[in-house]
């Protein structure tokens, strides 16, 4: 395991264009090593007292704990939702080379 804590973050976007824009910014700015876009997600949620349904694109964001605060700030600035989804899960194990790659990919803006 790398010495740095690695996270898998989840977020949803209303469409592919928004998902692409957010993924490009997070990776391009060195806040995430990789963002996987999963189109076709169907969300059912409660918003302002009503049950809502919508098609969304799920983002799987690979980053580090050290980059998380900046990632959260940037995602909120870019996201059209009033309250965007952003949850982070600690990755407790994985292929060491892949986890190290995530760490290297979130060392700062890409050169």
What are 67's two structure tokens?
A: 């980059």
**The tokens 């963002």 sit on which residue?**
35
Strand 87-90, strand 50-64: pairing: unpaired
Domains of the chain (ranges plus CATH)?
Answer: 6-105 (3.30.70.120)
11 neighbors 56 (Cβ within 8 angstroms): no
Write out the H or E segment, with its range, that includes residue 90: strand 87-90
pTM over 0.85: yes
Question: Which tens digit of pLDDT belongs to each residue from 56-73?
Answer: 999 999 999 999 999 999
Question: Which tens digit of pLDDT belongs to each residue from 19-59?
Answer: 999 999 999 999 999 999 999 999 999 999 999 999 999 99
Question: Which tens digit of pLDDT belongs to each residue from 72-101?
Answer: 999 999 999 999 999 999 999 999 999 999
């Amino acid at each position: 395991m790398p010495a740095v804590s690695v996270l898998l973050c989840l977020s949803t976007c209303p469409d592919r264009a928004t998902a692409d824009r957010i993924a490009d910014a997070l990776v391009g700015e060195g806040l995430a090593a990789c963002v996987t876009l999963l189109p076709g997600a169907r969300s059912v949620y409660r918003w302002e007292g009503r049950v809502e349904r919508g098609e969304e694109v799920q983002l799987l964001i690979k980053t580090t704990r050290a980059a998380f605060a900046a990632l959260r700030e940037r995602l909120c600035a870019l996201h059209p939702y009033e309250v965007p989804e952003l949850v982070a899960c600690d990755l407790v194990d994985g292929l060491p080379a892949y986890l190290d790659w995530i760490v290297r990919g979130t060392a700062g803006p890409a050169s």
